[in-house]
């Protein structure tokens, strides 16, 4: 799970709180997974204006004052609807790569950057 920049807790603490979901990522920069977890995979993508709400419905929680911006659960990736990003600006390639890696069995307790 990726939490909003500047609002992150340690992955370990977050993971403990959301044991059914896969991981968290340290911000402000989204952690890229090791190459061995970046392979192709068929997943379900939920692209929504409210990734925090969708992740919470999957069971994710975030520490007080922090916001979930992406997560992965059982092969379902939840990401911000890219149409909401300014044209030519911002993308969620880092978020997508991070959550795809969790779908590829990247352990949830990966170290924070």
| Chain positions contacting Zn ion, by CB under 5 A | 23, 25
Please say which residue, 67 or 86, places its beta carbon nearer to Zn ion.
Answer: 67
Is the CB of 46 or the CB of 102 nearer to Zn ion? 102
Shortest Å distance, C-beta 18 to Zn ion? 11
Q: Residue 84 forms beta bridges with which residues?
A: none
Six token digits for residue 34: 């090791």
What's the closest the beta carbon of residue 33 comes to Zn ion, in angstroms?
8
* Residue 97 contacts residue 77 (beta carbons within 8 Å): no
Residue closest to Zn ion (Cβ): 23
CB of 83 to Zn ion, least distance (A): 25
3-state SS, 1-27, equals CEECCCCCCCHHHHHHHCCCCCCCECC
């Amino acid at each position: 799970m990726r939490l909003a920049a500047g609002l992150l807790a340690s992955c370990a603490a977050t993971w403990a709180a959301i044991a059914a979901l896969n991981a968290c990522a340290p911000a402000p920069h989204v952690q890229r997974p090791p190459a061995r977890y970046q392979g192709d995979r068929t997943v379900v993508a939920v692209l929504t204006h409210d990734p925090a709400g969708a992740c919470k419905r999957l069971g994710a929680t975030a520490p007080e004052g922090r916001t979930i911006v992406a997560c992965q659960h059982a092969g379902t990736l939840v990401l911000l609807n890219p149409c909401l990003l300014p044209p030519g600006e911002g993308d969620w390639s880092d978020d997508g790569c991070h959550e795809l890696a969790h779908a590829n069995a990247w352990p949830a307790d990966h170290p924070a950057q």
